[in-house]
Chain A
Amino acid sequence: MTDILIHALLVILMPPLLLGVIGKTKAAFAGRVGPSYFQHYYDLAKLIRKGTVISDTTTWIFTAGPVITLAATLVAALLLPLGNHAAPIAFAGDMVLFAYLFALGRFFTTLAALDTGSSFEGMGAAREATFACLAEPALFFALITLSRMSGTLSLSPMMTNLSVSLWFSSGAALLLLIGGLFIVLLAENCRIPFDDPTTHLELTMVHEVMVLDHSGPAFAYILYGAAMKLFVMGAFFINIALPLKSGNAMLDWGIFILLMLGLAVAIGVVESIMARLRLVRIPQMLVAACILSGFSMLLILR
């Protein structure tokens, strides 16, 4: 029961902190002090109290987009085990629901973008839908590998089955797997080198350009949903990359939180030392991610 409570609290409270840590890391690289760790909480609190501007061309889809995306991400977060603890909702086949909940969010985000009739947002929607076609198979290859490794059909046992000793026995497969997943993690969460979350008006944008017309509480929903998606996909990555276990439930939660903060620092480092890729390179990177996770699947087939 405490575990479920902690799970829920982490899912609800922690996501904006990750963005704060990424921001601090980037500031440190740039030699600045940077905004506070809690800046994104302040931003959300401010946005939720602000007024809304709604375009005349839009319909209810424009409002439904952020709301349904956040709801889908929240439910997906309840399906994923965090650290060494099983998820509150775990059943055979839940990984399919996990993957398709993100697809549901994508469906409504892209439709809300098209609802404004702006060509910029149309562009972002087209790119989002296109790139997802390449990221999705990579995710499913990873799920195949994990399912075959653990012999189960549910995310919780798949993740808790992983351990440091498994890294020693089939490290090559897992290394390829996390290579592919890290690319998917960065691409799906609009991070450099795929997308730049700090600019809003470049023609090379994917995610940010889709939400140009959202404002006020709706924009708060979007930012919060994006942070939660980063949290969920980051936790998925951390569970595989560093399956550290202590045996003590509370200590495990502490390790998990530290690892998540470490991941945020790592993302910040990547964002600081890399330039954004040209748009035409993004599909190639995603295909590479697909191939990496495909290879890892072949390696466990012995």
Chain B
Amino acid sequence: MNTTEIIDPAHIIMTGAIFAGLSGVPGLFPRLGATVAQKLATIIACLGSLLGLGGAIVVAVSGMTEHLVLDWSLPFGPCDIWIDPLAAFFLIPIFLVSGACAVYANGYWPAGKHPGTSRVLGFFLGLLASSMVLLITAGNSVFFLISWEVMAVSAYFAITAENEDHEVRKAGFVYLVCTHVGTLALFVMFIVLRLMTGSFAIPHAGTLSPLAPGAAVIFFTAIFGFGMKAGIMPLHIWLPAAHANGPSHVSAMMSGVMLKMGIYGIIRIVSLFSPIPLWWGVVILGAGIVSGLAGVISAIGQHDLKRLLAYSSIENIGIITIGLGTALIGMAVGHPPLVIMGMGGCLLHMLNHSLFKSLLFLGSGAVIHATGTRELSRMGGLARHMPRTALLFFIGCVAICGLPPLNGFVSEYLLYFGFFNGINGSSIPVFSTMVLAIFSLALIGSLALACFVRLCGIAFLGQNRSSETGALHDAPLTMVAPMALLALCCLGVGLLPLSAVHLVEIPVLAVFPPAMTAGKNISSIAPLAWLEACGLLLTLVIVAFIGLYLRRLKANPPVPASTWGCGYLQPTARIQYSATSFAEMLVHFFRGVLQPRYAMPRISGFLPNTARFSSRIPETVLEGLLLPFMRLTGLVFSFLRRLQHGEPNLYVLYIFVTLVMMLAWSY
């Protein structure tokens, strides 16, 4: 790093982080009006985002590594801050999405309507963003854990903004327990790491041996601890409820950014080791396939708009993990294209997911704002009442299904490219894992398509299923503008894959030692220029056909009529295909995994009474396995409750006694 430069990217990024962290502070002064505080918070957060984004892109593209040292008086060694290209790449979605969410909050959670909670949300969202920046850049494991904990706790307070609602409190509690179980695993991991290296500093890439005692412990605790945060199945139990019950921009921040911190952690920890054992890659690939398939299958059956998006996040985390697993397998067998394409697909899909999933969550917020419900079966026909939101939401859906010419396709193309490279001329184990990966990604892709066609079709198209359509309104500009920005990013990455991949290339190389990649990079292996040309061609053909069609319509103006009811003269909105009926065949097909519950009355007699039917897809892992287990554990260990009696002064005594005991032990 050249310290003589006046403008240093690392300082810019840190200034951005400080701005983001301080953005909610004005709201803490009760003398300041809530509206003024929110406006101030938005301005400060946007400023921080712009600064951080600029710095992060410069570091990711230039490939330099920035290093700062913070002075602190804690006995854990110097507090290093390292911003290498990988870290910088993960900073991009943090700054982008947190800025967009800060603007969005003005329309979605206006301080005029929610004077109290808007201050809370502003403060914790700012803290969430800045703590994520710090943990990404932390070079010291204690500093990492502190930032990790601040992130986890500020996300908890942001989710539970509406804490008078029982569901919200429950979701928040499950999240809090899960995140701490995950953190516990991380404590174990960092302790073992400290035993291996002798210092709290996070070592450089490729410096540890996977054969050293403890390496496997580090690997599994990392997968458990970080996987819990990322929402890898079956560690995802907190995710659906937390995403569904939080305010929508908080869900966008969590799904778009916070889950990626888990992915970052896994990548960082795995990259410390060299050479990578083959089974590490296979384990991670397997975890990715399980999450991807189970995530999308669960998403198909959901009736709650935001729960569906949350399960789809699990699916996308699965795709990202599949990419990482492929890269690790490539490392283990020495197959450079597999490493580059797997990692490139992993990182690009990470960025893409944070773009389109934040867009979709913000869009779902606009829908909830207008309709006042999250139930898909009460929606319908929203596209005519909120055309701007619908258009942006559709862009997000095309992107998330991985369809050309949008950004989801580019990252899935890179992944497929890697897989097919692994098919050709490789040994049987690599061939079979790659076949499994192709099969899973193809199945995930088509299931995701069914899932999002259902979501768009039921929510936005057709006729409204509930009677009160008069109150429907499109979202205000403060909500539409951030969504439009994210949609533009989706279009940009999709139509200009060459430039987008340029952003990923250096971070991919930074993760692994250069010998592994043999001087190749993504754009020298994959013909992205062709992809760009095809995207352009497709767009041109579509535009040309639309032009031709509109000319025909002009020559012969269309006649409006009602939808053909196949001879039925009195159609109502309730006759339409519903969310349940659309998914019925697939839910039935996967009933072994989903365990759908039906409340079906027995209809008998000649004149049966009014009957109600309902169906529900439970969260199988949580409701079927964990909660019964927890109840049992609670009974068995109930004697321990005597220690927990709610007297803070005695709790302080516990801490004191523990400290004294630890001091005595260290002598």
Contact = CB atoms under 8 A, between A and B. Distances in A.
Interface stretch (A9-17, A137-145, A260-268): A137-145
A121 B457 CA distance: 11
Contact of B581 (A53, A122, A140): A122
A258 interface: no
Interface string B421-446: 10111001001000100110011011
B260 to A, nearest CB: 24
A142 B172 CA distance: 46
A57 B542 CA distance: 24
Given A51-B556, A71-B541, A114-B457, A119 B383 contact: no
Contacts of B542: 67-68, 71
B560 A54 contact: yes
A217 B549 contact: yes
B577 A153 contact: no
A122 B534 contact: no
A66 B573 CA distance: 24
Which residue, B456, B546, B552, has most C-beta atoms of chain A within 10 A? B552
B605 interface: no
A116 B566 CA distance: 13
Contact of B585 (A74, A127, A147): A127
Interface in A163-190: none
A36 interface: no
Given A110-B453, A118-B576, A153-B424, A53 B538 contact: no
A53 B450 contact: no
A288 interface: no
B562 interface: yes
Interface string B385-417: 001001000100010011110000100110011
A144 B423 contact: yes
B220 interface: no
B57 to A, nearest CB: 27
B561 A53 contact: yes
Contacts of B566: 118, 120, 201, 212
A56 B445 contact: no
A101 B531 CA distance: 12
Contacts of A52: 553, 556, 558-559
B558 A51 contact: yes
Contact of B462 (A64, A93, A114): A114
Contacts of B629: none
Contacts of A92: 417, 526-527
B654 interface: no
Nearest to A101: B404
Interface residues of A, number: 82
Interface in A85-132: 89, 91-97, 99-101, 103-104, 106-107, 110-111, 113-123, 125-127, 129-130, 132
A39 interface: no
Interface in B553-574: 553, 556-566, 571, 573
A213 to B, nearest CB: 6
Interface residues of B, number: 82
A56 B1 CA distance: 63
A141 B387 CA distance: 40
Given A107-B401, A117-B463, A132 B449 contact: yes
Majority secondary structure of chain B interface residues (helix, strand, loop or mixed): helix
B457 A125 contact: yes
Contact of A75 (B390, B446, B541, B546): B541
A56 B553 contact: no
B530 A221 contact: no
Interface string B229-273: 000000000000000000000000000000000000000000000
A218 B562 CA distance: 17
B446 A115 contact: no
A97 B562 contact: no
A89 B576 contact: no
B556 A144 contact: no
Given A59-B461, A127-B585, A217-B552, A132 B545 contact: no
Which residue, A68, A111, A133, has most C-beta atoms of chain B within 10 A? A133
B461 A140 contact: no
B530 A89 contact: yes
A211 to B, nearest CB: 11
B170 interface: no
Interface in A42-95: 48-59, 61, 63-64, 67-68, 70-72, 74-75, 78-79, 89, 91-95
A252 interface: no
A57 B584 contact: no
A216 B460 CA distance: 25
A71 B446 CA distance: 20
Nearest to A93: B417
Given A61-B383, A72-B538, A137-B439, A212 B562 contact: no
A291 to B, nearest CB: 12
A79 B9 CA distance: 44
Contacts of A30: none
A122 B577 CA distance: 5
A114 B383 CA distance: 12
Given A57-B563, A71-B545, A100-B404, 10 more contacts: A48-B552, A59-B387, A59-B460, A93-B416, A96-B416, A126-B577, A126-B584, A136-B445, A137-B439, A140-B442
Interface of A: 48-59, 61, 63-64, 67-68, 70-72, 74-75, 78-79, 89, 91-97, 99-101, 103-104, 106-107, 110-111, 113-123, 125-127, 129-130, 132-133, 135-137, 139-141, 143-144, 147-148, 151-153, 201, 212-213, 216-218, 221, 283, 297, 301
Interface of B: 380-381, 383-384, 387, 390, 394, 398, 401-404, 409, 412-413, 416-417, 420-421, 423-425, 428, 431, 435, 438-439, 442-443, 445-447, 449-450, 452-454, 456-458, 460-463, 526-527, 530-531, 533-534, 537-538, 541-542, 545-546, 549, 552-553, 556-566, 571, 573, 575-577, 581-586, 589
What are the 10 closest A-B residue pairs judged by CB atoms, nearest first? A122-B577, A114-B457, A117-B462, A91-B530, A129-B450, A52-B558, A136-B446, A140-B442, A91-B527, A55-B563
19 contacts: A50-B556, A55-B560, A55-B562, A59-B384, A61-B383, A67-B549, A78-B537, A96-B413, A97-B534, A107-B403, A117-B463, A120-B566, A122-B582, A129-B582, A136-B446, A143-B420, A148-B424, A201-B566, A212-B566
